[in-house]
Chains A and B, each alone.
Chain A
Amino acid sequence: MAGEAHSEEAGLVFHPMDQFIVKPFFGDGGVSWYTITNSTVWMALAVLAVFALLVLGTSKRSVIPTRMQSVAELAYGFIYKMVEDICGKDGVKYFPYIMTLFMFIVFANFLGLLPMAYTPTSQIAVTALMAFAVFFGVTILGFVKNGASFLGLFWVSSAPLALRPILALIEVISYFVRPVSHSIRLAGNMMAGHAVIKVFAGFAAIAAIAPFSILAITAMYGLEILVSFIQAYVFTILTCVYLKDALHPHH
C-alpha cells in the first residue's frame, strides 16, 4: 500500500503512482482551478511543440520541404486522409477539430516520455473531457444534421425484424459506453506504461537486479513510444468513426 511505502521501513520502496499527482508548479499550496500546475506546464509545452512543428516548421512554405516541414506535412496528410477516408468529403470541414485532438494527444504522450516529465493524457479528467466533448459534439451534430433520423443509427434495418429491438438496445448501450471506453483507453494505456516503468525503476535499488531492471525499462520505453503514437492514432480514428456515424447514421 502506498501509505506503508512511505513509512521509514527499509527495503524496496515503490511509489509508482506518485508521478500522477497534480501539484502547483510554482511553490506549494493548494490546487485551485487557475493554479499553474505540473500538468498545466506540460500541456503548455505540448501547445508550444505543436506551434513549433506546424507553424515554425512550415514558415518557409518551401515547395521542396525541409525536414520539419515534411514532418508537419506528413501529420497533416495523415489526419486529413484519415478524416476523408472515414467521414467522406463532408467530414473534411471537421478536420481542424480532429487535427487539434490528434496533435495535442500525440505531443502530450511523447513529451510525457521525457524523464521528469508529466503526462497530462494519463489523467482521466483530461481524456474524459476530450472523449465527452467528442461524444456530445457528435451526438448534437448528428441530431442537427439528420434530425430524428439520426436515431436510425440504433435501428439496424439489415437485421431480421424480430432481432431489431434487441439490437437497438445493444446499440444504445454501446453508444453511451463510447465516451467511457474512449477516455479510459487512452488514460489507462498512458498510466499503465508509466507506472510499470516506475515499478521497474524501483527494482533498480537492488544491485543484482539493476541491469535487468534497466533492460526492462528500456524495453518498456520502446513499447511506450509505440503506445504513445498508437493511442493518439486510436483516439483520433475513433473520433472519426463517431463523426461518420453522426454524418451518415444509416448503416
Chain B
Amino acid sequence: MATEPINMELAGKCVNEFGGAIGMPQLCGEWFGNQIFWLVVALVAIYFILSRVALPRIGSVLAERQGTITNDIAAAEDLKVKATQAEAAYDKALIDARAEAQRIVAVAKADIQADLDKAIAKADAEIAAKTSESEKAIAEIRAGALKNVEEVAKDTALAIVEAMGSSADAKTVAAAVDAQMKG
C-alpha cells in the first residue's frame, strides 16, 4: 500500500500525485525552511516598522493628547477659580454699592431734615415778628381809639354844659371828664 498516507509521508513526499494533501501538510518538513525564513523576514520587518516608526509615534501622540487634556483641565480649573473670584468681587461690589446707597440716602435725609428745620425756624421767627408787629398795631389802634373816645367825651360834655346854659370853662370840663374816666 504505497498510497497510504503514512507510507507516502515516510517516503518524504508532501503531496500526492494529484497535488493534493497527504495527511497534514503542516507536518511536511520540506516546507519548514521556507516558512521559517519568510516568517523571520516578516517578523523582523514588523519589528522595525513598530520600533522605529509606529510605536514612538503612537506613544508621542498619546502623550501629547494626555498633555493637552491635562493642560485643558488645568486651564478649566484656572478659569473656574477666576469665575469664583469674579463672582466674589461682584458680590462685594454689590454690597458696597448697597451700603453707599444707604449712606447717600441717610445723608440726603439729614440734609433735608436740616433744611426743613432751618426753614421751620425761619418761618417761626417770621410768624413771631409778624405777630408782634400786629400786636403793636392793634395796641396803637386801641390807644388811638381811647384818645378819640376821650376827646369825643370832652367835646360832648362841653357841648352839653353849654346847652344847659352855663358857660363852662373848657379846662374844667376836660378835668372833670378825665376824673370821671379814671374813676
Contact = CB atoms under 8 A, between A and B. Distances in A.
Leading 4 A-B pairs by shortest Cβ distance? A54-B54, A17-B21, A6-B18, A33-B33
Measured as residues with beta carbon below 8 angstroms from the partner, the interface class of chain A is 35 or more
A31 B36 contact: no
Most chain A CB atoms below 10 A, which of B25, B60, B68: B25
Given A21-B25, A22-B34, A126-B39, A100 B20 contact: no
A162 interface: no
B36 A61 contact: no
B35 A47 contact: no
A120 B33 CA distance: 13
Given A100-B43, A122-B26, A32 B34 contact: yes
A60 B47 CA distance: 21
Contacts of B26: 20, 122-125, 187, 191
Interface in B1-57: 3-5, 8, 14-16, 18-28, 30-43, 45-47, 49-51, 53-55, 57
Interface residues of B, number: 50
Interface in A1-41: 1-3, 5-6, 15, 17-18, 20-22, 31-35, 37, 39-40
A95 to B, nearest CB: 7
A72 B54 CA distance: 9
Contacts of A96: 47, 50-51, 55
Nearest to B62: A73
Contact of B59 (A21, A31, A32, A76): A76
Contact of B34 (A15, A35, A46, A58): A35
Interface of B: 3-5, 8, 14-16, 18-28, 30-43, 45-47, 49-51, 53-55, 57-62, 64-65, 68
Interface of A: 1-3, 5-6, 15, 17-18, 20-22, 31-35, 37, 39-40, 43-44, 46-47, 50-51, 54-55, 58, 61-63, 65, 69, 72-73, 76-77, 95-97, 99-101, 103-104, 120, 122-126, 129-130, 187, 191
Contacts of B41: 43
29 contacts: A2-B16, A2-B20, A15-B21, A17-B23, A17-B25, A21-B14, A34-B34, A39-B34, A39-B38, A47-B46, A50-B50, A50-B54, A51-B49, A61-B61, A62-B61, A63-B61, A63-B68, A73-B61, A76-B62, A96-B50, A96-B51, A99-B55, A100-B43, A100-B50, A103-B46, A125-B39, A129-B40, A130-B39, A187-B26
The prevalent SS among residues of B at the interface is helix
Contacts of B31: 22, 31, 37, 39, 123, 125
Given A21-B15, A21-B21, A31-B31, A58 B61 contact: yes
A6 B40 CA distance: 35
Given A72-B58, A126-B35, A191-B26, A55 B49 contact: yes
